[in-house]
């Protein structure tokens, strides 16, 4: 449980650093330009490095977890998504994991009966619900942020904003995704805190990203709805960064620097963290490979010969017993050596 | 069953609450009844594997080589380069907990380290400490720890408490497969000679004699001849199978459990009757006499070593293709490894059923067909005649054997056979069958006598579902297509669900199959009188 404390302290420090740095020491260029650039670079190269590292490791064997009927006889219906036998079916399976969290949707939980009466199973979809809410809210929020990176703001971004503001309340208009995001992260955190089994397996590495995201989302919400920052200046700063002609603009609120520093931390941390599951799912041998080993040969690049016990050696040992039992011997023994 | 095995009441107390102390602060206690005996020197020596010596689990000194840490870490480094699965599974876990309560060993034991996520963390913690920067610097704070002798013993204890059934992998959002982690962890343990006797001994026997039980060729033939005598007594039909016959069309390979002991031998009788009725041009082999592969529970290399004999023998005999019997992990290996490890077998042909003409394109490369695929096709094409009444005393449910379920996906074929051979078939609850099936608790080489408590705990979830259909539908027979199941279930049923027998699918088929020239059957394959023929019932019907 000490992991929670460490994670919380770490995030508090991460909030204080830009506050002191900008407010106290006036290091706006450091926090507004240098650190975001450095974070982007770490993210980019870290991610790429991981991608290269993973893709260079071979899949010696094709080991999909089969979750449905195999392709066999033509009158038996194959479960194409859960037991893919072709590349397009594999893509379907992976996409169903990426967009719908299909495996998580299966989740069920044993219920222990009283007095040794056994166990029954009930569907347990809460984790799936929280995860879907979180990821889609996160995606929408990120997508909306493109308005700071583009000029003019392209239609899809404005369109999503329009949908996101469907509640049509508040000035500025309330964006549902931001609120859902905060709720979902809180629920994911609550899960880890409340469910004893989750508490037992959770590490600092699990709490830290949650606290960090809460801090990021909270500063975002504060900026938008409560404290208020100079949005045109922010956009000017970001456009400067994007076009590699950074400009410093005075008078952007303190909160912005905290927000952008936390985001920078998240970016720099991302490639070295469990958040790399986002890439990992595409590489997972149990999901991203077809169950067609018997139909199509799969080569193991580091396959090497082994010296197995040959038939010749076997017959040499048991020749007499085999003869006596009437089991035929091999008359061409010279040719029957083991595969090289 | 062992005398030390706790009473049913005790093991029925399922307690999945978590202890106070964190798992890293809880040193492993090797509890008797929960582990197998250590591998013996001679068996390890036989395969030229590292560190052969006689040792005892109970001793403090496991006689490790001096540089054992380097051996393990070098071995881990090597495998991180060779297996994408290992690297991805080390790097992507988010500890969401979806797998935690999916493991039959966790449900039956309540031991938190039997949660798949923690079983993986046992290895992952060492990975972090030695192969990631954060782990090196921040240590325990980020779930990293040094590889000590305590940790090694913990590995040994828990990686031999996993049956590689892959149920957790099905529920993992990233497909992290504990079976894969266990396979590789066992491979590492084997670098130090830390195998268990129940695996090392069958491996040595299989390597040199040809099957796990060490049955020599003449004994194997004798055993199968005995089964043919029994078939003659029951059906009046004499069967003369061939052995090591060159020029046969098909090489038939199954697990040695099928020609060795009850109830496997009844399944074997079913095969023999079916093949005879079809007039199949096939042969047994006394050299490639084992479909099962305990090498797979040792290391990839040993799996390959044992598996290689099947293709070698197919080549020597000049057969066209391979037909495989009912066995679980045998089919994991045949389906997902054999062609890669020892193929492609260009000297074989794409399997075609000589009876129906069906071409098994799903086995076009590996040239190995599962007998349930083969038989289901026969039934669909109306090539077999059945008298399912002969199975009316059997009220059957079907256990999807884990390897065939989650490492192959064969669900409909065996059901098609059962539905045609039997009148009374009831499924267990859907959360416990098909891809969600629960392991027998004795797979992956854990089917020993000394770990009986582990086996009964591990098999609880499966038995619990059997108990359910026994009470609801009066089920009295558990069918399966796995030799380890057939060996393990009788004990498990006796403990958790008495009065439920165990059968293979082809035993049911053998009972119902109408053979040319057979006499009126009064007994089932087991030699038990068929109840529906008993006088009072007969009087009612006629």
Instruction: State the DSSP string of A146-190.
Output: GGGT-SSPPHHHHHHHHHHTTT--TTTTPPHHHHHHHHHHHHHHH
pLDDT of B3 > 70? The answer is no
- Taking contacts as CB-CB distances below 8 angstroms, the residues of chain A near B309 are 308-309, 311
Q: Which residue of B has its CA nearest to A4?
A: B141
pLDDT in tens, B189-245: 999 999 999 999 999 999 999 999 999 999 999 999 999 999 999 999 999 999 999
- Sheet containing strand B282-283, strands side by side: B282-283, B250-253, B321-324, B368-370
CA angle A260, A266, A271 (to 5 degrees): 140
pLDDT of B2 > 60? The answer is no
Contact A196 B18 (CB under 8 A): yes
3-state secondary structure B279-345: CCCEEECCCCCCCCCHHHHCCHHHHHHHHHHHHHHHHHHCCCEEEECCCHHHHHHHHHCHHHHHCCC
- Per the structure block, which two tokens stand in for B234? 């029951």
pLDDT in tens, B485-534: 999 999 999 999 999 999 999 999 999 999 999 999 999 999 999 988 87
- Taking contacts as CB-CB distances below 8 angstroms, the residues of chain B near A53 are 87
| Positive or negative: CA dihedral A202, A206, A210, A212 | positive
pLDDT at A335: 46
The CATH code of domain B209-380 reads 1.20.1050
Contact status, residue A65 vs residue B170, Cβ threshold 8 Å: yes
Contact status, residue B466 vs residue B478, Cβ threshold 8 Å: yes
Q: What element of type H or E holds A123?
A: strand A119-123
Instruction: State the DSSP string of B132-198.
Output: -HHHHHHGGGGT-----HHHHHHHHHHHTS-----HHHHH-TT---HHHHHHHHHHHHHTTT--BHH
pLDDT in tens, B372-397: 999 999 999 999 999 999 999 999 99
* Candidates A116, A201, A277; nearest CB to B118: A201
* Candidates A64, A65, A330; nearest CB to B316: A330
- Per the structure block, which two tokens stand in for B522? 């009064």
Contact A54 B87 (CB under 8 A): yes
- Taking contacts as CB-CB distances below 8 angstroms, the residues of chain B near A306 are 301, 304-305, 308
pLDDT at A23: 86
Note the ipTM here.
Answer: 0.93
SS3 of B461, please?
Answer: helix
Contact A310 B407 (CB under 8 A): no
Enumerate the CATH 1.20.1050 domain ranges in chain B, comma separated.
209-380
pLDDT in tens, B306-340: 999 999 999 999 999 999 999 999 999 999 999 99
Contact B365 A104 (CB under 8 A): no
Contact status, residue B246 vs residue A328, Cβ threshold 8 Å: yes
Question: Which residue, B481, B25, B539, B9, is CA-closest to B263?
Answer: B481
pLDDT at A247: 85
Distance CA B440, CA B458 (A): 7
User: For strand B321-324 and strand B368-370, is the pairing parallel, antiparallel, or unpaired?
Assistant: parallel
Tokens 């469910």 -> residue: A195
Assign domain A2-283 one CATH number from 1.20.950.20, 2.40.110.10, 2.60.34.10, 3.30.70.3270: 1.20.950.20
Contact B412 A112 (CB under 8 A): no
Domain ranges in chain A?
A: 2-283, 310-340
What is the residue-averaged pLDDT of chain B? 95
Residues in chain A predicted with pLDDT less than 70, given as ranges, are: 1, 334-340
Distance CA A103, CA A84 (A): 15
Contact B311 A339 (CB under 8 A): yes
pLDDT at B535: 62
Scored b (16 or more CB within 10 A) or e, A235-274 reads bbbbbbbeeeebeeeeebbebbbbbbbbbbbbbbbbbbbb
Q: Which residues contact A134 (CB under 8 A, 6 or more apart)?
A: A181, A184, A185, A188
Contact A196 B464 (CB under 8 A): no
- Taking contacts as CB-CB distances below 8 angstroms, the residues of chain B near A311 are 287, 309, 312-313, 316
Distance CA B510, CA B237 (A): 13
Contact status, residue B282 vs residue B247, Cβ threshold 8 Å: no
Instruction: State the DSSP string of B416-453.
Output: HHHHHH-S-B-PPPGGGSGGGPPP-S-TTT---STTHH
Longest dimension (CA), chain B: 85
CB pairs under 8 A between A and B: 326
Enumerate the CATH 3.40.50 domain ranges in chain B, comma separated.
388-530
Find the mean pLDDT for residues B131-135: 92
pLDDT in tens, B11-42: 988 889 999 999 999 999 999 999 999 999 99
Q: Which residue of B has its CA nearest to A288?
A: B175
Q: What torsion, rounded to 10 degrees, do the Cα atoms B336, B340, B343, B346 define?
A: 90
pLDDT in tens, B450-497: 999 999 999 999 999 999 999 999 999 999 999 999 999 999 999 999
Question: Which residue, B315, B258, B264, is CA-closest to B287?
Answer: B315
| pTM, rounded to two decimals | 0.94
Distance CA B154, CA B26 (A): 10
Distance CA A310, CA B214 (A): 16
pLDDT at A151: 85
pLDDT at B48: 93
pLDDT at A254: 87
What kind of fold does domain B388-530 have according to CATH? Answer: Rossmann fold (3.40.50)
Banded model confidence at residue B538, pLDDT cuts 50, 70, 90: very low
pLDDT at B536: 57
Contact status, residue B46 vs residue B207, Cβ threshold 8 Å: yes
* Candidates B115, B173, B301; nearest CB to A104: B173
């Amino acid at each position: 449980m000490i992991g929670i404390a460490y994670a919380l302290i770490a995030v508090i420090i991460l909030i204080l650093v830009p506050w002191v740095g900008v407010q106290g020491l006036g290091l706006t260029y450091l926090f507004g330009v240098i650190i975001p650039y450095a974070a982007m670079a770490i993210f980019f190269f870290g991610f790429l490095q991981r991608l290269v590292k993973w893709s260079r490791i071979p899949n010696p064997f094709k080991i999909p977890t089969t979750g449905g009927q195999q392709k066999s006889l033509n009158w038996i219906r194959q479960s194409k998504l859960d037991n893919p036998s072709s590349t397009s079916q594999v893509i379907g399976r992976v996409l169903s994991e990426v967009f719908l969290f299909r495996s998580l949707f299966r989740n069920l939980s044993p219920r222990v009966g009283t007095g040794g009466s056994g166990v029954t199973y009930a569907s347990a979809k809460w984790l799936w619900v929280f995860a879907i809410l979180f990821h889609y809210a996160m995606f929408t929020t990120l997508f909306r942020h493109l308005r700071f990176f583009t000029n003019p703001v392209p239609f899809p971004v404005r369109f999503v904003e329009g949908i996101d503001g469907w509640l049509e309340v508040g000035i500025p208009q309330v964006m549902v995704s931001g609120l859902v995001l905060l709720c979902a992260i809180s629920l994911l955190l609550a899960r880890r805190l409340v469910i004893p089994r989750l508490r037992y397996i959770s590490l600092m590495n699990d709490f830290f990203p949650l606290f960090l995201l809460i801090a990021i989302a909270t500063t975002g919400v504060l900026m938008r709805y409560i404290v208020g920052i100079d949005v045109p200046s922010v956009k000017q700063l970001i456009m400067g960064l994007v076009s590699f002609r950074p400009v410093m603009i005075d008078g952007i609120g303190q909160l912005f620097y905290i927000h952008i520093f936390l985001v920078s931390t998240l970016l720099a941390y991302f490639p070295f963290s469990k958040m790399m599951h986002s890439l990992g799912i595409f590489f997972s041998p149990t999901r991203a490979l077809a169950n067609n080993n018997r139909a199509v040969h799969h080569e193991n690049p580091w396959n090497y010969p082994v010296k197995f016990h040959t038939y010749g050696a076997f017959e040499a040992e048991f020749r007499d017993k085999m003869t006596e039992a009437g089991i035929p011997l091999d008359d061409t023994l010279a040719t029957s050596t083991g595969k090289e | 069953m062992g005398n030390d095995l706790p009473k049913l009441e005790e093991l029925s107390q399922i307690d999945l609450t978590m202890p106070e102390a964190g798992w890293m602060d809880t040193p492993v206690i090797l509890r008797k009844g929960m582990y197998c005996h250590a591998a013996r020197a001679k068996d390890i020596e036989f395969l030229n594997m590292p560190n052969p010596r006689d040792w005892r689990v109970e001793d403090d000194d496991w006689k490790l080589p001096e540089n054992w840490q380097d051996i393990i870490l070098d071995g881990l480094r090597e495998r991180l380069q060779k297996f994408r699965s290992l690297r991805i599974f080390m790097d992507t876990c988010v500890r969401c907990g979806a797998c935690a309560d999916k493991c039959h060993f966790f449900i039956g034991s309540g031991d938190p380290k039997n949660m798949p996520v923690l079983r993986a963390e046992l290895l992952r913690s060492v990975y972090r400490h030695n192969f990631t920067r954060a782990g090196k610097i921040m240590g325990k704070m980020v779930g990293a720890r040094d590889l000590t002798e305590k940790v090694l013993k913990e590995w040994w204890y828990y990686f031999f408490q996993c049956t590689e059934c892959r149920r957790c992998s099905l529920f993992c959002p990233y497909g992290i497969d504990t079976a894969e982690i266990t396979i590789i962890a066992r491979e590492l343990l084997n670098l130090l000679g830390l195998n268990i006797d129940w695996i090392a001994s069958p491996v040595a026997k299989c390597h040199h004699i040809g099957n796990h039980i060490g049955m020599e060729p003449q004994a194997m033939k004798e055993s199968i001849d005995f089964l043919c005598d029994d078939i003659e007594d029951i059906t009046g039909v004499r069967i003369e199978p061939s052995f090591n016959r060159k020029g046969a069309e098909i090489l038939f390979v199954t697990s040695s459990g099928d020609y060795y002991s009850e109830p496997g031998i009844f399944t074997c009788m079913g095969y023999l009757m079916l093949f005879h009725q079809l007039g199949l041009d096939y042969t047994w082999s006394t050299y490639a006499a084992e479909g099962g592969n305990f090498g797979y529970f040792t290391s990839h290399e040993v799996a390959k070593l044992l598996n290689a004999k099947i293709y070698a023998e197919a080549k020597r005999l000049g057969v066209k293709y391979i037909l495989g019997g009912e066995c679980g992990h045998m089919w994991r290996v045949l389906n997902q490894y054999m062609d890669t490890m020892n193929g492609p077998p260009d000297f074989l042909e794409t399997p075609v059923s000589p009876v129906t003409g069906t071409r098994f394109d799903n086995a076009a490369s590996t040239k190995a067909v599962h007998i349930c695929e083969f038989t289901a096709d026969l039934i669909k094409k109306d090539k077999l005649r059945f008298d399912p009444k002969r199975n009316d005393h059997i009220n059957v449910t079907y256990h999807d054997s884990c390897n065939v379920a989650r490492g192959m996906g064969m669900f409909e074929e065996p059901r098609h056979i059962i539905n045609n051979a039997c009148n009374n078939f009831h499924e267990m609850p859907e959360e416990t069958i098909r891809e969600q099936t629960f392991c027998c608790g004795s797979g992956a080489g854990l089917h020993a006598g000394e770990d009986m408590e582990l086996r009964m705990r591990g098999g609880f979830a499966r038995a619990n579902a059997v108990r359910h259909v026994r009470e609801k539908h009066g089920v009295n027979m558990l069918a399966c297509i796995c030799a380890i199941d057939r060996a393990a279930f009788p004990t498990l049923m006796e403990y958790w669900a008495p009065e439920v027998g165990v059968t293979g699918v082809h035993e049911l088929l053998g009972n119902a199959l109408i053979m040319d020239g057979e006499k009126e059957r009064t007994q089932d394959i087991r030699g038990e009188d068929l109840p529906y023929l008993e006088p009072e019932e007969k009087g009612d019907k006629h």
